[in-house]
């Protein structure tokens, strides 16, 4: 058995006789190495036209490579020269010229805001719910509260400013909301004022 060469399975590494076509353990087929030696190509044989052409191409490749390297070196030198020249010019012109002031600009005058127009009231009245108390009067008892309502014309005016006042706050007081507070017995005049127009009503306080 020692005269028969052995081979090692490329899959399971089991050694067996070279006379077998497959591994007895994993049944992997033996791969035979080819004994053929590749022949030479014409371009490797000196003295042939192909070899001369390869040598010519190699010479031109070397020339092209040398030209390319020289172009890169020249471009690098030019870039360095331009950068140095720009740096020198920026250093010489570091101080900017300040323009001479010939005249001081005059600010344009600002126009004053236009005051808002005062709404024009054509009629003013004092109401107690749906009853018109303008120029007349009403009766109240001590401690009671009577709400008065202002009414102006034209009625489409918005944000109308008005004020209330009492002629005798010891008898009756009135707040900004128009509510009359009866304090003590007596008579007091309630006045409604709106944009220069005033109307009055009288409150008679009884005990």
Residue pLDDT, tens place only, 81-126? 888 887 766 655 556 666 666 666 677 777 677 766 777 888 999 9
* Mean pLDDT of all residues belonging to the chain: 83
For residues 147-174, give the mean pLDDT.
91
Residue pLDDT, tens place only, 169-193? 999 999 999 999 999 999 999 999 9
What does the pLDDT read at residue 120? 83
What does the pLDDT read at residue 22? 87
Is 105 in contact with 171 (CB distance < 8 Å)? no
What does the pLDDT read at residue 85? 80
pTM over 0.75: no
């Amino acid at each position: 058995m020692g005269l028969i060469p052995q081979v090692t399975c490329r899959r399971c590494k089991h050694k067996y006789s070279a006379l077998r076509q497959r591994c007895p353990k994993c049944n992997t087929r033996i791969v035979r190495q080819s004994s053929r030696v590749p022949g030479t190509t014409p371009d490797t044989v000196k003295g042939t036209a192909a070899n001369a052409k390869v040598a010519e191409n190699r010479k031109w490749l070397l020339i092209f490579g040398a030209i390319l390297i020289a172009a890169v070196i020249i471009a690098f030198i030019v870039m360095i020269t331009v950068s140095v020249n720009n740096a020198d010019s920026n250093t010489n012109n570091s101080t900017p010229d300040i323009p001479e002031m010939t005249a001081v600009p005059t600010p344009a005058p600002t126009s004053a805001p236009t005051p808002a127009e005062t709404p024009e009231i054509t009629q003013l009245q004092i109401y107690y719910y749906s009853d018109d108390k303008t120029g007349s009067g009403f009766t109240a008892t001590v401690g009671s509260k009577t709400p008065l309502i202002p009414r102006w014309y034209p009625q489409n005016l918005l944000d109308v400013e008005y004020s209330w006042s009492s002629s005798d706050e010891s008898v009756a007081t009135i707040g900004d909301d128009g509510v009359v507070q009866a304090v003590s017995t007596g008579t007091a005049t309630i006045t409604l004022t709106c944009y220069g127009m005033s109307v009055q009503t009288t409150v008679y306080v009884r005990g």
